[in-house]
Amino acid sequence: MVSPNVKRVVITGGPCAGKTTAIESIRTYFEQKKGRVIFAGEVPTEIMRMGITLAKYGKLPFQRAIIDLQRKKEQVIMDAACSVDDGQEVLIIYDRGILDHFIYLNSEEQKLIEEEMGLDRQQLYGNYDLIIHMLSVASEMPELYENSEFRLEAVPEAKEIDDKIGNIWKQHANYVRIGCERDFDVKIQKLIRIIESN
C-alpha cells in the first residue's frame, strides 16, 4: 500500500521539450522546500550504457530490458519512500514512466510484452499520481526545434513521438499537458505549480 505522504510524478515529453532541464530545476526547488525528493533517471540511457542497445539486441529484447529495469527501480524507490513514517511528504520524480516505452512498439508487440511480463495497463497507470506531458517545440513552435548529435528526429518524427506519448498517457486520471513557452522559466513555474496543487 502506498503511503498518503508519497507523491509519484512522471515527467515525460517528446524531443526538445526541455524535460531534462526542467527536471533539474524542479528537483532543486522541491529539495530546498521539502527535503525529501527521490529522482529516478531515464532508464533507456542506463540500459544503453550497460551495452544493451537496440542495434545489438533488437526491439523486443531492448524494450523488455528497459521495462524490467524500470519496474525493479520503481519497487526499490517505493520501498524506500514508504519506509518513512514521520508524516513528511516524499516526492518521487520519474523521468518517464513505464508506459512511455510502449510508444516504440506496435499494438501486437505491446500485447506480447504485457502478456510475457504480466503487465496490466490499469495497474501501470496506478503506479503514478500525476503525469506531466511537456510538449515538444516540434508540436507548437517548430521554428525553435533543434537537432543535435543526441536528437536525430526531424520535426515530423518528433511531433509523432509527442502524439504517441499523449495517446498512451491520456487515459490516466491525472494527465496534464504543458504547452511550449518562449520563456522557459515560465514553463518551469507552471510545472512547479501543477506538482504543488496535485
**Domain parsing of the chain, residue ranges:** 6-197
- 92 pLDDT band, cuts 50/70/90, is very high
Fold of domain 6-197: Rossmann fold (3.40.50)
- 150 pLDDT band, cuts 50/70/90, is very low
Q: Are 164 and 139 in contact (CB under 8 A)?
A: no
- Predicted confidence at residue 182, as pLDDT, reads 82
Helices (H), the chain: 19-33, 43-49, 54-57, 59-82, 107-117, 121-125, 137-140, 155-169, 184-197
The grid coordinates of residue 92 equal 518521487
Residue 61, amino acid: P
Q: Cα separation of 132 and 101, whole Å?
A: 16
Q: Which residue has the higher pLDDT, 164 or 150?
A: 164
- Predicted confidence at residue 145, as pLDDT, reads 62
Does residue 148 surpass a pLDDT of 60? no
In this structure, of 86-90, 118-122, 151-155, 160-164, the range with the lowest mean pLDDT score is 151-155
The grid coordinates of residue 39 equal 529522482
Q: What is the DSSP letter of 136?
A: P
Across the chain, mean pLDDT equals 89
Residue 120, amino acid: D
